[in-house]
Amino acid sequence: MNVTVGANDLKVLELTLAILSILVLHGPNLNLLGQREPGIYGSLTLEEINHLLAAEAFKLEVKVTALQSNHEGVLLDAIHGALGQYQGIVINAGAYTHTSLALRDAIAAVNLPVVEVHLSNIYRREDFRHHSYIAPVVIGQISGFGVQSYLLGLQALVHHLKKDEV
Instruction: Report the binding-site residues for substrate.
Output: 92, 98, 105, 119-120, 129
**C-alpha to C-alpha distance for 159 and 114, rounded to whole angstroms:** 12
Which helix (H) or strand (E) segment holds residue 111: the answer is: none
Catalytic residue among 41, 86, 133, 150: 41
Residue from 26, 86, 96, 118 carrying the catalytic annotation: 118
- Chain-centre distance of CA 26, in angstroms? 8
Catalytic residue check, 41: yes
Compute CA distances 95 → 5, 114, 117, whole Å.
Answer: 51, 17, 12
> What DSSP line would sit under 130-165, residue for residue?
G--SSGGGSSEEEESSTHHHHHHHHHHHHHHHHHHH
Residues at the annotated binding site? 92, 98, 105, 119-120, 129
Annotated catalytic, 130? no
Residues annotated as catalytic are 41, 118
